[in-house]
Amino acid sequence: MTDPIRYYVGVDGGGTSCRARITDHNGHCLGEAKTGSANILLGADVAMASIIDAIATAAAAAGLTEDCYPAMSVGLALAGAEQRSAWYEFMAQPHPFGAVTLNTDAYGACLGAWGGNDGAILIAGTGSCGILIKDAKQHVVGGREFPISDQGGGAVMGLRLIQQTLLAHDGIRPMTALAEHVLDHFNRDIDAIVSWSKTARPCDYGQFSPAIFAAAYRGDALGIELLNQTAADIEMWMKALIHRGADKICLMGSIAERIKPWLIPPLQQRVATPLGDAMDGALAMARGCHNLYPL
């Protein structure tokens, strides 16, 4: 006989960190914690270890022990869960909890943004992804990882900046202060840029996005061009969500939250303020079955 569920646990996990929050039946927070990566594409066992570590730390803060795990329903909003084989590999692992439901971090963010109800979000941070939850179905646009997708995200912005800086260096386009900034970052060594590009990760390209915003607001022509491109990308995703039935869209993530002034007015009017975040969505998932794929 299984234990009755007495605790709800929300877990928001990505490539950088994993957050866990434990609540009671009334939604009161009992404890929370943050640990390492829980992107399931980095390994199902690695992600599970981070999740259990985060829940154990949150449980200790709440005065709970491992004996309470069977009474916990866990909602997992995890990066990489859209990959079907990774989803099944993760869910095949043993765990000590009473119930587990797994969906993407974008799904959790969408549930959180709309208070557990239907709605749409566009996430643009290092990467990008749009999601609409409507009539118990989810519709996803983008989010297929850098460099083949993620338009509107910081990594694509940084890649374009590097490309345009090299063109400026070759005299093909005008040199600007933003391009000079990039050259200075690499000690004005073009070979160093080429070598760096061979191993650079999305976050390495994304590190240049704050400089792009700052340069654009100073009137730098290259910065303005890049922000206009990013705005056009985000408008593309928003239009795709609207075509699928979205009315209002919450913009979430470091890029999306700053891009609104650069959007065309009709799409600015479609932007809504999120009610919560992915952690709130994960807790909503813990109260029901929100599995992305059938078990």
Q: What is the DSSP letter of 2?
A: P
Distances in Å between the alpha carbon of 162 and those of 158, 179, 196, 201, 206? 6, 8, 11, 14, 11
Of 94, 128, 90, 96, give the one whose Cα is nearest residue 206.
128
Q: Which fold has domain 154-272?
A: Nucleotidyltransferase; domain 5 (3.30.420)
* CATH superfamily membership of 7-115+276-286: ATPase, nucleotide binding domain (3.30.420.40)
pLDDT at 38: 86
pLDDT at 2: 61
pLDDT at 1: 46
pLDDT tens-digit profile, the chain (295 residues): 467 999 999 999 887 789 999 999 999 999 999 988 788 988 899 899 999 999 999 999 999 999 999 999 999 999 889 889 999 999 999 999 999 999 998 999 999 999 989 999 999 998 899 999 999 899 999 988 899 999 999 999 999 999 999 999 999 999 999 999 999 999 999 999 999 999 999 889 999 999 999 999 999 999 999 999 999 999 999 999 999 999 999 999 899 999 999 999 999 999 999 999 889 999 999 999 999 998 8
Per-domain residue ranges of the chain = 7-115+276-286, 154-272
Same fold, 7-115+276-286 and 154-272: yes
pTM summary value: 0.85
What are residue 146's phi and psi, to 5 degrees? Answer: -70, 140
